Structure 1
């Protein structure tokens, strides 16, 4: 069974998630934006062994620590979708612009596309390509525990920004309605910032994509 711990990191309070298989205690880190010493400390407290990095997208607060963590622990970098290559290439410039510690580009070990799966230990998650916030944004969905790690696609009461380069508002709305809602109203999602919610709650009441929008 998959378990997870959400660890806010960086000045943007980005929800990095450590996910692990409770049978093997192998873990993946979703979106290590920074504060790597703290992330490693949490992993030790949980008794898990980090085996991979999974990325939803390549904005600095989500991907800023990726190259260093991969080097430290000899980890494969899985994701995002190739549409975010230009964001990866610009990580050093992003870190300067937003006042983050220096960050560096990297080459993912594996790019992801819609319909792929990722595995940690005996737990398998489905990958959905959900562009709009960035062109290469992906979401990780565990039907077994009814959880989805959605990065900056959807938030409790809000949606991702689309005013960054290659953002697309209509594409984001389509991603949410066509690729997130079918995961089920009772699925809890872990957003890139802020509290968890359910797709049912947002489908009904979210002012941007809810039934009244």
Structure 2
């Protein structure tokens, strides 16, 4: 049991692979919102998937044949933790259900050069889609596509990090070019004086153009016509 007015907090977990991995857009699951006032230590041999803030195991995985069992160090009761809020439990159960359902599906989705690609000592994977590209051989070890091996059909996709644009930070730039003066749009440092002066000139020029446009849009003055006089 945690001391009074304190709680155990989930701090680290594997964000690259496994059941607690980040989403396809690299957004992490909100597992760090888990708070526990009571927990039970895990004994035996296991693989740690998540740890509390003091380094002890919060989520353990034990291999059992071709499957595995997961053990949580707390309960989904508010007298123990806020696990029932779903920050950790909901994505964990969804991904466990998806993993368990893969064995009952004849059509599965894998990654290029995945260790779980179907293997056969006698059959060769047959490419089913028409997007042959530059690899007409259609090997699932290096080419994305739809394949059939025996009675099983599966899709092979590129690893999702290949579709994410890689951005370089100012810190990396300074490490790569330590003796170079660098200025970037997202930099929090003060902009050079030349850039500041250019923005000032552009601002004054834009204001002058707006004033000139306003003057040209003013209506012109019309001459007054003399009123007609009446004769007797």
Tell whether the structures are fold-level matches, with TM greater than 0.5.
no
Q: Which structure has more RCO (C-alpha within 8 Å, separation ≥ 6)?
A: 1
TM-score, with structure 1 as normaliser: 0.25
Pair member with larger Rg: 2
TM-score, length basis structure 2: 0.24
